[in-house]
Structure 1
Amino acid sequence: MENLLAAVRDQIPALREGSTAENTLSAGTEAAETDTAKQDSNPGPGAERGQTESKEQGTEEDQKDGTQKDETQKDGMEITEPEQTETGITEPAAGESASTAEPEAPQSVPEETIETGGAPREILYPEADTIQETISPDLLADQQALLNRFFVVDPNTSVLPGEIDGSTLLGKDLTLPENAEGPQILIYHTHSQETFADSRPGERADTVIGLGDDLQELLEKQYGYEVLHITEAFDMKEGCLERSRAYNYAEPVIAAALEEHPSIQVVIDLHRDGVNGSKRLVTEINGKPTAQIMFFNGLSRTKESGELTSLPNPYQAENLAFSFQMEYEAEQYYPGFSRCIYLKGYRYNLHLRPRSVLLEVGAQTNTVEEVKNAMGPFSDILHKVLSGKSPASGG
């Protein structure tokens, strides 16, 4: 059995193209850059859609989904803002949080059980235990090099000196306490209506909500976490798609769930990105076509307005560390799986817990199979961070 598992692990691809994206650090507020209006009606997580910022600036949703980004090169891949490709569904924007635009046979895994805390579990995904690409300590110590390698900074925000520091980001303890009672992880979808290239109309399994079901099952059955999955449609009002205030509608519901379940320490807002229709965000992991992922963080800061004091996030540093530690694990164990960490202004409801993340899985051009295949490696890197047992993390 060990030989079979070793054979599976050996199939993990190793190389990723070098990063070509150049991001520039900015210590202060620079002249505001005007984004061109998007054609897409489907707002992506790139701009906070739905949290009131001020009367002058409107809502975060307005800021994010009402602007279109230029394509940005990152690790050899183009990241673009979403365009509308489905009737009545707005595709997510790729750089902004990538949510305004919106496509083989599964590898068999040996069946056996592993004892964890006395409870057997079925192996649903072959966890990676071999580092494929080592990240140099010199890179972690160079803020600009680190920024260029792992991040994309939206043109309308800025990164402050010292904000992206490798040792600080990796040094934050984000492990979860063992034997916690109650759910530890919350999954929800600000944009519940996002679908994929071959999604069947009316089939929950083929939507981003169905993707959340798959992630919940993996986290519960393979890793033993208790997961709460909220499937409320925050982007639907009176039977119509309405994303202009989806983040506003989601916040009180998620806050109430966290108050009811104080045991929840991890919050995942699961999306799919929106890209130019000719692009497909796909790689190969364990011999299977797998959608690439992207982490998204809001900095509550824009070049036009500076610090958004009306949208405070006391957990911004922890949010960044959470995304970076998962990016760090992905880069070493699954090179090419994660596109980058996208940094934009506003907040995106990431202020509700320190371990909060907005995750983009593939885009509207990926198939349902490809995005479902991404849940295995993502759940693995998430567990590596939450357990602190990854060799890459020194655990």
Structure 2
Amino acid sequence: MKEKGGRINWLIRHMMLITGLVLAVLLLIRGAAGTGRAFDRERLTALINGQADAGLEWIWRMNYPAAGRAEENETKMVKAEEESISGLICRFIFGQSPLYRYLGREEGGEINYKEEDPAFAGYLESGKFYEEHQYLMYDGGEETGAGTMEQAGTTVLAANGDGAAGSSGNTGSGGNAGDSGNTGSGGNTGDSGNTGNGENAGVAENAGINGNAAALPKKDDNMTCAASVLPLIGKTYRKEQLADYDYMMKHFYSVHTSTTAGRDLMKADEFLAKDFTLEGSNDKPQILIYHTHSQEEFSDYGPDNKEATVIGIGNYLTELLTAKGYHVIHDKSVYDLQNGKLDRNKAYTYALDGVTRILQENPSIEVILDLHRDGVNESLHMVNEVNGKPTAPIMFFNGVSQTPEGPIEYLPNPYRSDNLAFSFQMQLDAAAYFPGLTRKIYIKGLRYNLHLRPRSVLIEVGAQTNTYQEARNAMEPLAEVLNMVLQGN
């Protein structure tokens, strides 16, 4: 009897199991039919898994109701624990994700932007800014010298197309030198007959004109250029003149439309008050020369003249500064070539990594010079006679990390005022001792890695229409001007 009852129980149990499986299959078919053909494979798979789980759970509960109740109670406890700890943590973490917030929706179905992540918003804004202003990634470009002399800020302009620029008929002449749009304007730049006039207060009338200055001239408080044994043959400026914002901007600066240089930033008295005298000795590196755009070439570059690049003039400047007693590192790394292709859009990013690594290895470096050459219209050949040699004019370049709308917060530069003062002091010394050497200082909106040291400057040496020799000739007066500022003269 007992054996017969056991068989009945076995039969009933298996009949319930079979019935449960049949019901599970029927539910699965019904659910699949309700989905229609619109469901894709992934959703159908999820549905199958869900229905199968539901069927098996039902069979388990029908056969073992006590175990089902125990499991249900345990599940409730686990869910409560997960809600109190894991659930809260997960919701907090996901809540910080910009994508999670953007995908969150209000009851009306609208996307909720109320909790937009500020950091992600800044990232989007910066991406949009670079997308709209890709031309700002280039330091120079044709806009710095392709137009008139007023735009270029050059003292001598020749567009003969035959390389005859800078002939004796134009170089330093009163008709071209000192054009109202040029550095040292007023019509007297380079005219030795006017050196020591009313605008040159604080300098002896004939100081250095005949080249017989044997001792360092005495520099009074009103003198804005360095004191030097070199002949003062150019133009000097009084502090009262430079205190006039409009006068300073007209004579010394060219500002790109991507940015602004207001009165709150351009303060000549503060620029002149900064002391850039090097503090350390030359037993450790002091100056770093590098090239964000190392592939920039000059007009006579070729198989027989591979030196005609910005790296070539960097080699010569390194020699000149080393001869003056400075400890110089010349970084010849290539930052504008990636996989054999020219990529100047990311060159500043690559250069930042390389230069930062050099500074970490050589923290004694106080001066950083990024040497470039400009790009201008092919009809424009800029060349002046400096030190009796045909010389490509140089242009100091500053990035101020701001647009007309305001500061670019993700490009901070704690040394912006120092950078501006550093180039301004060299510009004044060049105007006084090497007329024709410099174009106007160019100001643009981005940062250009000038934030690494107070004594940082980007220098454009001539353009692609200049010969290597013309660019090389500019390195000698540049070394002298740099030395004047670093010696605190």
Q: Same fold per TM (> 0.5)?
A: yes
**8 Å CA contact retained: 2:276, 2:455:** yes
Alignment of 1:328 with 2:428, yes or no, is: yes
Name the counterpart of 1:352.
452
Q: CA deviation at 1:139?
A: 1.5
Seen in structure 2, the aligned counterparts of structure 1 residues 241 and 331 have a Cα distance that, compared at 3 Å, is: same
Query: What does residue 369 of structure 2 align with?
Result: 268
- Cα deviation for residue 296 of structure 1 reads 0.4
Shift of 1:177: 1.4
Q: Secondary structure at the match of 2:391?
A: strand
| Structure 2 CA distance for partners of 1:253 and 1:52, relative to 1, 3 Å | farther
Question: 1:180 offset after TM fit, Å?
Answer: 4.3
- C-alpha change, 1:204 and 1:184, in structure 2 (3 Å) is farther
1:213-244 superposed Cα distances (whole Å, 9 cap, x missing partner)? 000000001x1101011111100011111111
Counterpart of 1:269 in 2: which secondary structure? strand
Q: CA deviation at 1:201?
A: 3.5
Contact residue 300 and residue 467 of structure 2 kept, 8 A: yes
Q: Which runs of structure 2 are paired with 1:1-395 in the superposition (5 Å)? A: 54-58=126-130, 62-65=134-137, 69=143, 71=147, 73-74=150-151, 75=153, 129-132=230-233, 133-201=235-303, 203-221=305-323, 223-303=324-404, 305-389=405-489
Q: How has the CA–CA distance of structure 1 residues 278 and 77 changed in structure 2, closer, same or farther, with 3 Å as cutoff?
A: farther
User: Structure 1 residues 254, 178: closer, same or farther in 2, change over 3 A?
Assistant: closer
Cα pair 2:155 2:436 within 8 Å, conserved = no
Amino acid at match of 1:130: P
Q: Match for 2:368: what amino acid?
A: V
State the identity %.
47
- Higher RCO, Cα 8 Å, sep 6+: 1
Q: SS where residue 54 of structure 1 aligns?
A: helix
CA shift, 1:78, in A, is 9.1
**How far 1:208 moved relative to its partner?**
0.6
Instruction: Name 2:109's counterpart in structure 1.
Output: none
C-alpha deviation, 1:203, in angstroms: 4.6
Report the AA paired with residue 390 of structure 2: P
Q: Is the 8 A contact 1:296 1:341 kept in 2?
A: yes
Residues of 2 paired with 1:232 and 1:52: CA distance?
31
Change (3 A) 1:239 1:178: same
Residue 259 of structure 1 and its aligned partner are, at CA, apart by 1.1
The answer on whether the counterparts of 1:272 and 1:361 sit within 8 Å (CA) in structure 2 is: yes
Higher helix residue share: 2
Distance 1:130 1:279 in 2: 31
Q: Name the amino acid aligned to 1:388.
A: G
The normalised TM-score by structure 1 is 0.69
CA distance in 1, matches of 2:229, 2:467: 24
Instruction: Please state whether the residue corresponding to 1:55 is helix, strand or coil.
Output: helix
CA RMSD of aligned residues (A): 2.4
> 1:333-376: CA deviations, max 9, x gaps?
01121001101101000001110000000000001110000000
Over 3 Å counting, the alpha-carbon distance change for 1:332 and 1:77 in structure 2 is closer
- Relative to 1, partners in 2 of residues 1:261 and 1:192: Cα closer, same or farther, differing over 3 Å? same
Look up the SS of the partner of 1:270 in the other structure: strand
Tell me the distance in 1 between the aligned counterparts of 2:282 and 2:245: 36
Contact 1:71 1:78 in 2 (8 A): no
Q: Equivalent residue for 1:30?
A: none
Q: Secondary structure at the match of 1:359?
A: strand
Distance 1:382 1:144, change over 3 A: same
The alpha-carbon deviation at position 306 of structure 1 amounts to 2.1
User: TM-score with structure 2 length normalisation?
Assistant: 0.56
Cα pair 2:368 2:456 within 8 Å, conserved: yes
CA deviations on 1:179-238 (whole Å, 9 max, x unpaired) are: 2431100000000000011112485421110110000000001x1101011111100011
The structure-2 alpha-carbon separation of the partners of 1:60 and 1:385, relative to structure 1 and needing over 3 Å to count, comes to farther
Deviation at 1:136, TM superposition (A): 2.5
C-alpha distance in structure 2 between counterparts of 1:361 and 1:169, whole Å: 23
| CA separation of 1:71 and 1:257: change in aligned 2, threshold 3 A | same
Of Structure 1 and Structure 2, the greater strand share is in 1
**Which residue type is aligned with residue 231 of structure 1?**
K
1:279 Cα deviation after fit? 1.1
> Relative to 1, partners in 2 of residues 1:76 and 1:286: Cα closer, same or farther, differing over 3 Å?
closer
- Read off the aligned partner of 2:454 and give its amino acid letter: P
With over 3 angstroms needed to count, the CA separation of the structure-2 counterparts of 1:60 and 1:168, relative to structure 1, is farther
Secondary structure of residue in 2 paired with 1:267? strand
CA deviation map 1:271-323 (0-9, x unaligned) = 001111111121001211011000000010012x5210000000000000000
Does the 8 Å contact 1:157/1:345 carry over to 2? yes
Moved more, 153-162 or 359-368: 153-162
Is residue 199–residue 206 contact of structure 1 (8 Å, CA) maintained in 2? yes
- Structure with larger Rg: 2
Q: Which amino acid aligns with 2:403?
A: T
Change (3 A) 1:333 1:52: farther
Deviations 1:36-58 (A, max 9, x none): xxxxxxxxxxxxxxx99812113
Question: Do the aligned residues in 1 keep the contact of 2:156 with 2:383 (CA within 8 Å)?
Answer: no
Contact kept? 1:53, 1:60, Cα under 8 Å: no
CA shift in 2, pair 1:62/1:246, >3 Å? same
Unpaired runs of at least 5, structure 2 = 1-122, 158-227
Structure 1: unaligned runs, 5 residues or longer: 1-50, 80-126, 390-395
